[in-house]
Chain A
Amino acid sequence: MLSKMIEALYLKVFVNIIVKRASTIVYIEIHSKKKVLNSIHSEFETTSLNDKMLAFIQKYIKESPYYYISILDRAVVQGALPSCQKQKMLFYKDMSDSEYRCYDGKWAYYTAKSEMYETEKIYESIGLDFIFSPFVLIAKFFKDKIVGKIAIYVLIEDNYLSIAVFEDEYLLYAKHCDLDTISEIDDILLSDNVDVDEELDFDDSGIDLESMDVDDDGIELEDFGEIEDLDSLEDIDEFDDSKDVEEELLESDTDLKEADVVDKSNEDYQRFSAIQSAVADYYKDERYESKFLENIYIADGIGVSRELKKYLEEEMFLNVYIRHMEIDVEICELAQEELSS
């Protein structure tokens, strides 16, 4: 009782650390009991903890003894499994080296113990209070969508990709990719993808030039011309009209920078490949309940180009919905929710 009263007298400081490819973003929010007093954004040239970052964080955690340091788990070996029961989990993976937690009793997210300890060690001078899994982030961010029909959900970070398949709030499949290691597997997967496309696309059966040309023209050139196609697209987009607006804004932003577009499109292609291979795994792997996937929701943490959407729509025939996500703000909200529970 007394401790609750004392706690109410103090500010709360939330420090959120998101590690990118070559830098770290530190986002700090200072809360009074009722509202946010201050929020500070800062980026540091390190993937662990350098002096500047340490000084920066220490400056703010001095404000109050009630400070909470959260980090987004950047372990290479991490993911999620469709079940929360130990026996069933063993079916998918050996859990002896992993730390896992249940989400709502429906599915579990895990990470490698050694990598978790290593993370704690890197930040031991300031200490860590929360380590969040990207899959939890996905589940929370798309909480309105995952209750519905089956779809792919992707969280795009600077160098990581977290892919999950949800239906009716249940996780069916999840994969966490490191972009640096993806490029090696690209070539192999592409060949597999072609086979998959051939299976699905009953219309594109042969190497009939004439038919192909006709079909290609139909799809590529007549995007704006054929109102029927546009209508079909609109039918599918019945859930979230507001998200279409975001998409359009995204397209306008990404069109401006041409130089970046080239780099981004390269990265985006890598991302697309990763998603493609993950989906392929999902379909191939007998352990996972494979269902037909039509929609993909992307939580864009960095700002992807139009190319990714194009790739996904054209190559995989998915309905793509991109939502921009401020990863640091989301992590902060997670931390607050964690405290209040």
Chain B
Amino acid sequence: MKYSYIKPRKKSPFTADVQLIITFFSMTFIMLFTTYAFLLFKNYTFTQDRQALISSTIDLQNSIDEMDRKIAYIKKQKDLAEKVFTQNMVLKDSITNLFDLVPERITLSRAELLKNGLILYGITPSKDVYNFMLLAPLRSIFQKTYSSFYPQKNGWLRFVSTNYINEDDTEELDSEN
């Protein structure tokens, strides 16, 4: 200081009232900015979460579709297997019926089971026995029945019985099987 004994006090435009105002506004700004930052952050996380959820949902959807396909396939497999098993059982019953059909007095030497027919080779004591005991039941099952006889040395007849089911009926039988 050039002339004065004492130094002047520090002069500042930031008087008490100005400082109060600045403090108040600073607090306000801090709160506003904090809120704003919070909102930005939350919006960002919301966007991220939504994206994640959407993609997870799509994955789940795909997984569900996949499983549905597998389920359908398993059902198909099951249906097939059942069809096959039933077919086999029906076949078994058919064969059982066939051999039950044949009376004691007639002996079969050969049997050919076809899809739509049956060919039997065997020996019968007489025609009558054949006609009454075998032909009649066969006729009730098959539409077309052909029989041919070949006499044998010992008096018995060898026969060949050819039986067919009609085309229409064949379809019915197939569908039943």
Contact = CB atoms under 8 A, between A and B. Distances in A.
Interface stretch (B11-19, B76-84, B110-118, B163-171): B11-19
Nearest to A6: B13
Contact of A73 (B1, B5, B9, B14): B5
B4 A116 contact: no
Contact of A130 (B4, B11, B15): B4
Interface stretch (A44-52, A62-70, A201-209, A306-314): A62-70
Given A68-B8, A129-B8, A130-B8, A136 B3 contact: yes
Nearest to B4: A130
A65 B15 contact: yes
A-B pairs with lowest CB-CB distance, top 3: A129-B8, A130-B4, A131-B5
Given A120-B6, A131-B6, A338 B1 contact: yes
A92 interface: no
A337 B3 contact: yes
Contacts of B1: 101, 130, 338
A89 interface: no
Interface residues of A, number: 30
A128 B1 CA distance: 14
Contacts of B9: 127, 129
A337 B15 CA distance: 25
A24 interface: no
Interface in A309-341: 334, 337-339, 341
A219 to B, nearest CB: 42
B6 A129 contact: yes
A305 interface: no
A337 B2 contact: yes
Nearest to B2: A341
Contacts of B4: 70, 101, 129-132, 338
A246 interface: no
Contact of A338 (B2, B11, B14, B15): B2
Interface string B33-52: 00000000000000000000
Nearest to B12: A65
Contacts of A136: 3
Interface residues of B, number: 13
Contacts of B5: 73, 99, 101, 111, 116, 131-133
Contacts of A339: 8
Interface string A69-84: 0100100000000000
Nearest to A75: B5
Nearest to A131: B5
A10 interface: yes
Interface majority SS on A: helix, strand, loop or mixed? mixed
A334 B13 contact: no
Contacts of A127: 9
Interface in A127-144: 127-133, 136, 140
Interface in A104-147: 111, 116, 120, 127-133, 136, 140
A7 B11 CA distance: 9
A99 B15 CA distance: 31
26 contacts: A3-B12, A65-B11, A65-B12, A65-B13, A66-B13, A67-B11, A68-B8, A68-B11, A73-B5, A101-B1, A101-B3, A128-B6, A129-B4, A129-B8, A130-B1, A130-B4, A130-B6, A130-B8, A131-B6, A132-B3, A132-B5, A133-B3, A133-B5, A337-B2, A337-B3, A338-B4
Contacts of B14: 65
Given A7-B13, A116-B6, 13 more contacts: A65-B11, A73-B5, A99-B5, A103-B3, A111-B5, A120-B6, A129-B8, A132-B3, A132-B4, A133-B5, A337-B3, A338-B3, A338-B4
Contacts of A70: 4
A107 to B, nearest CB: 13
Nearest to B6: A131
B171 to A, nearest CB: 105
A39 to B, nearest CB: 20
Contacts of B8: 68, 129-130, 338-339
Contacts of B13: 6-7, 10, 65-66
B3 A334 contact: yes
Nearest to B5: A131
A122 to B, nearest CB: 14
Contacts of A6: 13
Interface in A1-46: 3, 6-7, 10
A339 B15 CA distance: 20
Contacts of A3: 12
A275 to B, nearest CB: 24
A75 to B, nearest CB: 10
Contacts of B15: 65
